[in-house]
Amino acid sequence: MYEPARSAGPGGAKEQVRRLLAMLPYLLAHQGARVTDVARVFGITEKQLVADLGVLWFCGLPGMMPGDYIEVDMDTVEGEGVIHVSNADFLARPLRLSADEALGLLVALRVLRGTGRESERALIDRVITRLEDAAGQASGGMDKVAVRVDSWEDPQVGAVVREALDQGRRLHLRYWVPTRDETTDRDVDPMRLVLADGWTYLEGWCHRAEDVRLFRLDRVASAELLDEPAAPPPQARPRDLSAGLFQPSPDDALATLELDPQAAWVAEYYPCEEVTELRDGSLLVRLRVADPRWLRRLALRLGGTARVVEPAELAEAVREDAVRALAAYEST
């Protein structure tokens, strides 16, 4: 059995990486710093600091030989734990991008430009120009690379949404909700466009839900620019999408599925609380479900390669869905 990686201290692994990137230069400049002082500077416990330093033992330059890793020594001086870091001098060297790294960064910036506001696009253009100048010959292949983000959205909808973002105005959307198979009317204060999993989303304050929502642009039937200015309330905050679009809540219902090997991709695509491999190669997974209708649709999509085990009422609902679907085929 395996479980998802646990949080690496406050904020999880993402925040731990940020701490380490700030902590290393600090420790190099303060050799022999006391554990208590360093923990206080970075606002973490001494236990978390020791755990962070343990990660550094496995970090370093490519090569993966013993001499390539950062070395961390923790000694005791007059009853106080002190920290010495060595073999990390490469952090003081100027950054040098390879041709592949420069091209990759330029491609990413051009994709980002396609989802940015007008003011952001101007800033991105300046960054691209400076990066091309700094990269020199490394960026010479950029003219041979075409950057295109495929989108199924209505071009008119996309134009209206981008105009609302540039002008800071409210939108009226007619939006199709697939889980209910219905089109709803919503007034939305746009906040930003994001590209996730190959789809373009508008993130904004939805006055119907009174919360921040993501609207996939290809599901917007129509978009109308309103005269009211966009004014998201103070509690409206962009979502952190680094962990993916679907981020379950502890309050969501817990469901158990049995997956045949052909459906094992579900355990990798969706965040699971627990995954157990059975003797026959199938998987038993437990995952949070915010809307049971989503899981019912997923179960029908998987057909005979998946079975809902718990909760019993959800398993029965899936069975009834399958019976109705089969009956519809027979009637035609």
Arithmetic mean of pLDDT, 25-41:
90
Sequence-distant (6+) residues with CB within 8 A of 240 are none
Instruction: Tally Cβ neighbours within 10 Å of residue 27.
Output: 22
Instruction: Determine whether 35 is exposed, middle or buried from the number of CB atoms within 10 Å of its CB (0-12, 13-18, 19+).
Output: middle
Cα distance between residue 259 and residue 265, in whole Å: 9
Arithmetic mean of pLDDT, 165-178:
91
The per-residue pLDDT for 152 is 66
The CATH number corresponding to 253-331 among 3.10.105.10, 3.40.920.10, 3.30.930.10, 3.30.70.240 equals: 3.30.70.240
Higher pLDDT, 287 or 181: 287
Give the chain's length.
332
Among 18, 38, 28, residue whose Cα is nearest residue 91 = 28
**CA-based max dimension of the chain:** 85
Among 70, 139, 55, residue whose Cα is nearest residue 102 = 139
Instruction: Determine whether 317 is exposed, middle or buried from the number of CB atoms within 10 Å of its CB (0-12, 13-18, 19+).
Output: middle
Q: Would you list the domain boundaries of the chain? A: 12-92, 99-144, 155-229, 253-331
Topology of domain 155-229 in CATH is SH3 type barrels. (2.30.30)
Cα distance between residue 217 and residue 214, in whole Å: 9
Q: What proportion of the chain, given as a percentage, has pLDDT over 70?
A: 82
Arithmetic mean of pLDDT, 225-241:
89
Whether residue 64 is predicted with pLDDT greater than 70 in this model: the reply is: no
Cα distance between residue 156 and residue 101, in whole Å: 35
Contact 182, 293 (CB under 8 A): no
Mean residue pLDDT across the chain: 82
Whether residue 60 is predicted with pLDDT greater than 70 in this model: the reply is: yes
Whether residue 242 is predicted with pLDDT greater than 50 in this model: the reply is: yes
Arithmetic mean of pLDDT, 198-218:
90
Lowest mean pLDDT among 44-58, 82-96, 127-141: 127-141
Cα distance between residue 249 and residue 247, in whole Å: 7
Quick check: do 155-229 and 253-331 share a fold? no
Arithmetic mean of pLDDT, 45-72:
79
Domain 12-92 has CATH 3.40.190: no
Sequence-distant (6+) residues with CB within 8 A of 40 are none
Contact 85, 53 (CB under 8 A): no
Cα distance between residue 160 and residue 143, in whole Å: 30
